[in-house]
Protein backbone atom coordinates (compact mmCIF):
# COMPACT_ATOMS: atom_id res chain seq x y z
CA UNK A 1 0.00 0.00 0.00
CA UNK A 2 2.82 2.39 0.94
CA UNK A 3 4.49 1.57 -2.38
CA UNK A 4 1.39 2.62 -4.33
CA UNK A 5 1.06 5.83 -2.29
CA UNK A 6 4.69 6.67 -3.03
CA UNK A 7 4.10 6.14 -6.77
CA UNK A 8 0.98 8.33 -6.70
CA UNK A 9 2.84 11.04 -4.79
CA UNK A 10 5.70 11.04 -7.31
CA UNK A 11 3.23 11.19 -10.21
CA UNK A 12 1.35 14.06 -8.58
CA UNK A 13 4.56 16.01 -8.01
CA UNK A 14 5.63 15.38 -11.60
CA UNK A 15 2.22 16.50 -12.86
CA UNK A 16 2.42 19.71 -10.80
CA UNK A 17 5.87 20.43 -12.20
CA UNK A 18 4.57 19.88 -15.73
CA UNK A 19 1.61 22.21 -15.09
CA UNK A 20 3.90 24.86 -13.67
CA UNK A 21 5.99 24.70 -16.81
CA UNK A 22 2.85 25.07 -18.91
CA UNK A 23 1.81 28.12 -16.92
CA UNK A 24 5.09 29.91 -16.37
CA UNK A 25 7.43 28.75 -19.13
CA UNK A 26 5.17 29.81 -22.02
CA UNK A 27 5.01 33.33 -23.44
CA UNK A 28 2.15 35.48 -22.14
CA UNK A 29 -0.70 36.10 -24.57
CA UNK A 30 -2.14 39.41 -25.77
CA UNK A 31 -5.72 40.23 -26.71
CA UNK A 32 -7.88 43.25 -27.52
CA UNK A 33 -9.65 44.11 -24.26
CA UNK A 34 -12.88 45.61 -25.59
CA UNK A 35 -15.30 43.85 -23.27
CA UNK A 36 -18.85 42.59 -23.95
CA UNK A 37 -17.51 40.26 -26.65
CA UNK A 38 -16.96 43.19 -29.02
CA UNK A 39 -15.02 42.52 -32.20
CA UNK A 40 -15.34 45.97 -33.74
CA UNK A 41 -15.05 49.66 -32.88
CA UNK A 42 -16.50 52.57 -34.82
CA UNK A 43 -14.72 55.90 -34.62
CA UNK A 44 -16.04 59.16 -36.05
CA UNK A 45 -13.61 62.00 -36.79
CA UNK A 46 -16.36 64.52 -37.45
CA UNK A 47 -15.71 66.51 -34.28
CA UNK A 48 -11.95 66.75 -34.75
CA UNK A 49 -10.48 70.02 -35.99
CA UNK A 50 -7.20 68.48 -37.19
CA UNK A 51 -6.87 66.30 -40.28
CA UNK A 52 -5.35 63.43 -38.29
CA UNK A 53 -6.17 61.71 -35.04
CA UNK A 54 -4.82 58.83 -32.98
CA UNK A 55 -7.12 56.00 -31.94
CA UNK A 56 -6.27 54.19 -28.71
CA UNK A 57 -7.15 50.49 -28.75
CA UNK A 58 -6.89 48.69 -25.38
CA UNK A 59 -4.61 45.64 -25.31
CA UNK A 60 -4.23 43.35 -22.29
CA UNK A 61 -1.88 40.56 -21.20
CA UNK A 62 -3.23 37.07 -20.52
CA UNK A 63 -0.68 35.65 -18.11
CA UNK A 64 2.17 37.26 -16.21
CA UNK A 65 3.50 40.75 -16.83
CA UNK A 66 7.03 40.90 -18.18
CA UNK A 67 10.02 41.89 -16.05
CA UNK A 68 11.48 43.70 -19.06
CA UNK A 69 10.19 45.83 -21.96
CA UNK A 70 8.74 43.30 -24.39
CA UNK A 71 7.94 43.52 -28.07
CA UNK A 72 4.55 42.74 -29.57
CA UNK A 73 3.15 42.71 -33.09
CA UNK A 74 -0.13 43.85 -34.61
CA UNK A 75 -0.71 43.59 -38.34
CA UNK A 76 -3.34 44.69 -40.85
CA UNK A 77 -5.40 41.89 -42.44
CA UNK A 78 -5.36 42.85 -46.16
CA UNK A 79 -8.38 40.86 -47.35
CA UNK A 80 -10.65 42.34 -44.69
CA UNK A 81 -9.39 45.94 -44.86
CA UNK A 82 -11.01 48.57 -47.08
CA UNK A 83 -9.00 51.54 -45.78
CA UNK A 84 -5.85 52.50 -47.66
CA UNK A 85 -2.50 52.86 -45.92
CA UNK A 86 -1.12 56.37 -46.32
CA UNK A 87 -4.58 57.70 -47.17
CA UNK A 88 -6.78 56.63 -44.27
CA UNK A 89 -4.19 55.44 -41.76
CA UNK A 90 -0.46 55.55 -41.14
CA UNK A 91 1.51 52.38 -41.83
CA UNK A 92 1.92 50.21 -38.74
CA UNK A 93 5.34 49.58 -37.21
CA UNK A 94 6.91 46.13 -37.40
CA UNK A 95 6.89 45.89 -33.59
CA UNK A 96 5.63 47.80 -30.57
CA UNK A 97 6.85 48.01 -26.98
CA UNK A 98 4.89 46.64 -24.01
CA UNK A 99 6.57 48.17 -20.97
CA UNK A 100 7.68 45.92 -18.12
CA UNK A 101 5.29 45.37 -15.23
CA UNK A 102 2.22 46.42 -17.20
CA UNK A 103 -0.81 44.20 -17.78
CA UNK A 104 -2.65 46.75 -19.93
CA UNK A 105 -1.79 49.45 -22.44
CA UNK A 106 -3.24 51.26 -25.45
CA UNK A 107 -2.15 50.38 -28.96
CA UNK A 108 -2.01 53.59 -31.01
CA UNK A 109 -2.95 53.90 -34.68
CA UNK A 110 -2.98 57.23 -36.52
CA UNK A 111 -5.85 57.87 -38.92
CA UNK A 112 -6.73 60.64 -41.38
CA UNK A 113 -10.10 62.18 -42.27
CA UNK A 114 -8.95 63.94 -45.46
CA UNK A 115 -10.76 61.54 -47.82
CA UNK A 116 -14.11 63.18 -48.82
CA UNK A 117 -15.60 59.69 -49.26
CA UNK A 118 -15.63 59.32 -45.46
CA UNK A 119 -18.45 61.86 -45.35
CA UNK A 120 -20.85 59.23 -46.68
CA UNK A 121 -19.03 55.91 -46.27
CA UNK A 122 -17.02 54.05 -43.66
CA UNK A 123 -13.65 52.38 -44.08
CA UNK A 124 -12.48 49.30 -42.21
CA UNK A 125 -9.02 48.60 -40.81
CA UNK A 126 -8.88 44.92 -39.83
CA UNK A 127 -6.23 44.27 -37.20
CA UNK A 128 -4.72 41.06 -35.86
CA UNK A 129 -2.37 40.34 -32.95
CA UNK A 130 0.41 37.98 -34.07
CA UNK A 131 3.15 36.13 -32.25
CA UNK A 132 6.36 37.97 -31.43
CA UNK A 133 9.56 37.09 -29.58
CA UNK A 134 7.90 37.98 -26.25
CA UNK A 135 4.15 37.42 -26.74
CA UNK A 136 1.75 35.02 -28.35
CA UNK A 137 -1.86 35.64 -29.37
CA UNK A 138 -4.26 35.34 -26.40
CA UNK A 139 -7.98 34.53 -26.56
CA UNK A 140 -8.62 33.49 -30.15
CA UNK A 141 -11.87 35.43 -30.56
CA UNK A 142 -10.27 38.60 -29.13
CA UNK A 143 -7.10 38.71 -31.22
CA UNK A 144 -8.73 40.30 -34.27
CA UNK A 145 -10.52 43.64 -34.48
CA UNK A 146 -12.47 45.60 -37.08
CA UNK A 147 -11.73 49.32 -36.66
CA UNK A 148 -14.35 51.29 -38.59
CA UNK A 149 -13.55 54.93 -39.35
CA UNK A 150 -15.84 57.61 -40.76
CA UNK A 151 -16.55 61.35 -40.79
CA UNK A 152 -20.20 60.78 -39.98
CA UNK A 153 -21.89 61.20 -36.60
CA UNK A 154 -21.85 57.84 -34.81
CA UNK A 155 -23.80 57.13 -31.63
CA UNK A 156 -21.40 55.99 -28.87
CA UNK A 157 -21.91 52.35 -27.94
CA UNK A 158 -22.26 53.40 -24.28
CA UNK A 159 -24.76 56.24 -24.83
CA UNK A 160 -27.78 54.42 -23.37
CA UNK A 161 -25.76 53.60 -20.28
CA UNK A 162 -24.51 55.83 -18.81
CA UNK A 163 -24.44 58.89 -21.13
CA UNK A 164 -28.23 59.12 -21.36
CA UNK A 165 -28.18 60.08 -17.66
CA UNK A 166 -26.32 63.26 -18.57
CA UNK A 167 -27.48 64.04 -22.12
CA UNK A 168 -30.97 62.54 -22.38
CA UNK A 169 -32.34 60.88 -25.53
CA UNK A 170 -29.94 60.54 -28.44
CA UNK A 171 -30.10 62.41 -31.74
CA UNK A 172 -27.42 63.23 -34.28
CA UNK A 173 -28.13 66.94 -33.97
CA UNK A 174 -27.71 66.79 -30.19
CA UNK A 175 -24.53 64.77 -30.64
CA UNK A 176 -23.13 67.39 -33.01
CA UNK A 177 -24.17 70.14 -30.57
CA UNK A 178 -22.30 68.37 -27.77
CA UNK A 179 -19.15 68.25 -29.90
CA UNK A 180 -19.39 71.99 -30.59
CA UNK A 181 -20.00 72.91 -26.94
CA UNK A 182 -17.40 70.70 -25.24
CA UNK A 183 -14.89 70.81 -28.12
CA UNK A 184 -14.49 67.09 -28.81
CA UNK A 185 -16.36 63.88 -29.56
CA UNK A 186 -16.94 61.04 -27.09
CA UNK A 187 -14.02 58.65 -26.48
CA UNK A 188 -14.10 55.32 -28.26
CA UNK A 189 -14.87 53.06 -25.29
CA UNK A 190 -16.56 53.48 -21.90
CA UNK A 191 -13.34 52.65 -20.07
CA UNK A 192 -11.64 55.55 -21.86
CA UNK A 193 -14.63 57.82 -21.14
CA UNK A 194 -14.30 57.37 -17.38
CA UNK A 195 -10.51 57.52 -17.21
CA UNK A 196 -8.59 60.79 -16.70
CA UNK A 197 -8.90 63.40 -18.04
CA UNK A 198 -12.55 62.27 -18.14
CA UNK A 199 -14.82 61.07 -15.34
CA UNK A 200 -18.51 60.68 -14.52
CA UNK A 201 -18.38 64.14 -12.92
CA UNK A 202 -16.92 65.60 -16.11
CA UNK A 203 -19.82 64.25 -18.21
CA UNK A 204 -22.35 65.44 -15.64
CA UNK A 205 -21.00 69.00 -15.96
CA UNK A 206 -20.99 68.74 -19.77
CA UNK A 207 -24.55 67.41 -19.80
CA UNK A 208 -25.80 70.33 -17.75
CA UNK A 209 -24.02 72.81 -20.04
CA UNK A 210 -25.62 71.28 -23.14
CA UNK A 211 -29.05 71.17 -21.48
CA UNK A 212 -28.77 74.85 -20.55
CA UNK A 213 -27.98 75.66 -24.18
CA UNK A 214 -31.15 73.83 -25.25
CA UNK A 215 -33.12 75.82 -22.67
CA UNK A 216 -31.75 79.12 -23.99
CA UNK A 217 -31.99 78.25 -27.70
CA UNK A 218 -34.44 76.50 -30.02
CA UNK A 219 -32.71 73.41 -31.40
CA UNK A 220 -34.40 70.91 -33.74
CA UNK A 221 -33.24 67.36 -34.36
CA UNK A 222 -32.75 65.65 -37.72
CA UNK A 223 -36.46 64.79 -37.85
CA UNK A 224 -37.59 68.38 -37.30
CA UNK A 225 -38.59 67.83 -33.66
CA UNK A 226 -37.62 70.41 -31.08
CA UNK A 227 -35.05 69.10 -28.62
CA UNK A 228 -36.53 69.58 -25.18
CA UNK A 229 -34.57 69.99 -21.92
CA UNK A 230 -34.04 66.77 -20.00
CA UNK A 231 -33.58 65.88 -16.36
CA UNK A 232 -29.83 66.15 -15.88
CA UNK A 233 -28.13 63.83 -13.44
Domains detected in the chain: 29-150 (2.60.40.2030), 159-216 (no CATH)
Pairwise CA distance, residues 186 & 36, whole Å: 19
Q: What predicted TM-score, i.e. pTM, was given to this entire model?
A: 0.69
pLDDT tens track, the chain, 233 positions = 434 433 333 333 444 444 433 343 478 999 998 876 678 888 888 766 678 989 989 999 998 899 999 999 999 999 999 999 999 999 999 999 999 999 999 999 999 988 999 988 999 999 999 999 999 998 777 899 999 999 888 899 899 999 999 999 999 899 989 988 988 889 888 988 999 999 999 999 999 999 999 999 999 988 999 999 999 87
> Are 182 and 209 a contacting pair, CB within 8 Å?
yes
Pairwise CA distance, residues 73 & 16, whole Å: 32
Amino acid sequence: MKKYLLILTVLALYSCQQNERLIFDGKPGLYFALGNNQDSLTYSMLGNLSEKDTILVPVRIMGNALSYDGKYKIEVIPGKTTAEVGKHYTKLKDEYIFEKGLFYKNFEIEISKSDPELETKSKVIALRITESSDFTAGYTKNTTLRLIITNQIIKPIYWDSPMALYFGAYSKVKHNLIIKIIGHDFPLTLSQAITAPYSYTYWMVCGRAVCQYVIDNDVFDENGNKIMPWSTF
